[in-house]
Chains A and B, each alone.
Chain A
Amino acid sequence: DGGITQSPKYLFRKEGQNVTLSCEQNLNHDAMYWYRQDPGQGLRLIYYSQIVNDFQKGDIAEGYSVSREKKESFPLTVTSAQKNPTAFYLCASRGYSTNEKLFFGSGTQLSVL
């Protein structure tokens, strides 16, 4: 079955450490998104990519980096510059047509040790 796979489900980061969250999709979708969700809050856009080898900053990109070397993969790195990384991270994708539904991964909960 097609879908989005995020891993790991839970991740712990030490101070000063970079960590990478994985997002893989086999839906042949062009657009992929990374969102951050804090407890009781809505989704905030970190980065998005409309096509391979291209990505754009969202509203809260500082302290994060991404790459889009393959259509299927859109990993998110939480760098040591992100001073408050504890949050729930969601990856989403959408097909090229504007009439296509959004698909979401199951999320990664990142916590700081």
Chain B
Amino acid sequence: KNEVEQSPQNLTAQEGEFITINCSYSVGISALHWLQQHPGGGIVSLFMLSSGKKKHGRLIATINIQEKHSSLHITASHPRDSAVYICAVLRDSNYQLIWGAGTKLIIKP
């Protein structure tokens, strides 16, 4: 079983829909990162979480440390949100990053 599991693997939605991407992990962590990779390959860090909730524009990220689960939400989704969203955790025992497989999101106009 992978130490970081993301769901869904693929998600297609209509413009304007509320999007949720989930990340579950099985190891002790110091932090959890949400990242976005566009088709050109570049990766951008969206959030770094160690507890609670963060919001940036239409993006919201939450983490529940007890349940070892995090969610990334996109409100009022737009075609430019189409990308691969990746969850990565920083393991607290050796500070190594463990990556989820990514969620490919397509928003149709």
Contacts and interface: CB of A to CB of B under 8 A. Distances in A.
A104 B97 contact: no
Interface of A: 31, 33, 37, 42-43, 45, 48, 50, 88, 90, 92, 98-104, 106-107, 109
Interface residues of B, number: 22
Contacts of B97: 33, 45, 48, 102
Contact of B48 (A48, A101, A104): A101
Interface of B: 30-31, 33, 35, 41-45, 48, 50, 86, 88, 90, 92, 95-97, 99-102
Given A50-B95, A101-B33, A103-B45, 20 more contacts: A31-B95, A33-B97, A42-B86, A42-B99, A45-B97, A48-B96, A48-B97, A88-B41, A98-B31, A98-B92, A98-B95, A101-B45, A101-B48, A102-B33, A102-B35, A102-B88, A102-B97, A104-B44, A107-B41, A107-B42
